[in-house]
Amino acid sequence: MKEVFGMWKYTKMVVLVALSAAIYAALLIPFKALVLIPGFTEIRPASAFPVVLGLLFGPAGAWGAAIGNLIGDFFGTLSIGSIPGFIGNFFFAYVPYKLWRNLGLIDRGDPDPLLLKGGKKYLTYILVAVLGSMACALIIAWGLEVLRLVPFAALATIICLNNSLPSVILGIPLLIVLYPRIKKWDLLWTDIVDEEYLDKNTALTKIGALLMAAGIVGGFATGLAAALGFSGQAAFAGGFGQGQMGGAGVALAAGLGILLAILGGLLQR
């Protein structure tokens, strides 16, 4: 995780943060009127970008997604919930680039690791995109549940679906178009930062990647189970106005998953 902070000493990476934030915000703002949850979220075709930005620009894409979402919040959804929104959107881009090769599904010796060629790479892309979407949903829904603003079950399921579909359907063609150009311009994050900031191919890194994936899936699943079973909530739009918020079971289950995901990130180095 040291690349998350170490990247700020590279001018190109700082520029990529600004570029990523500007792209994401510019695509979020026009859709602010298409509200799904008043004051909190809307239809987001822009969700196609964080995964792609993370894969191409690494930590710069993650910071850009977080900052871009915060800028977008100034246009109708700025609240205390913007804090978990910032962190959730950071992980939306962070998780995919950490897991892309660290899960062991992509050959580290591949000279074109992001060239989507072959079923294995497409499946890996879908996997990391969904895990990134789920991580974003888990963090934001947990935060707003703890703040007693929106029920976990409703928000987690809506955000996960709202992020996953654009990330997969629109993100794949985006990556196919952008990757060759970004590589040609020497803007891939792995070509900018020093080797010390790149994860090593070690057993600890693989364990960290698996722990991150398990924390995301486990936290989402157990948090949702606790919300549905113990708090009387319901998934998707049917969950508004139903059940109780701020339950200890939901907070602990989802919170433990978030902690495991963060620990998994720290182990990948």
31: pLDDT strictly greater than 70: no
Query: Which ranges constitute the DSSP H helices of the chain?
Result: 3-6, 11-28, 49-57, 59-73, 82-102, 119-146, 152-169, 171-184, 189-192, 203-229, 248-267
**Number of domains the chain is built from:** 1
pLDDT per residue over 149-159, tens digit each? 999 999 999 99
37 domain residue, yes or no: yes
244 domain residue, yes or no: no
95 domain residue, yes or no: yes
Contacts with 63 (C-beta within 8 Å, 6 or more apart), sequence order: 4, 7, 17, 20, 21, 90
Q: What is the mean pLDDT of the chain?
A: 93
137 domain residue, yes or no: yes
pLDDT of residue 239: 79
pTM metric for this prediction: 0.95
pLDDT per residue over 170-213, tens digit each? 999 999 999 999 999 999 999 999 999 999 999 999 999 999 99
151 domain residue, yes or no: yes
Mean pLDDT of 9-15: 98
Give the range of the structural domain holding residue 32, as residue numbers without chain letter.
Answer: 3-196
The mean-pLDDT minimum among 37-41, 162-166, 222-226 falls in: 37-41
261 domain residue, yes or no: no
35: pLDDT strictly greater than 70: no
89 domain residue, yes or no: yes
The domain that holds 112 is classified in CATH as 1.10.1760.20
pLDDT per residue over 164-174, tens digit each? 999 999 999 99
- Reference 17, options 68, 87, 75, 55; nearest CA is 68
pLDDT per residue over 62-98, tens digit each? 999 999 999 999 988 899 999 999 999 999 999 999 9
247 domain residue, yes or no: no
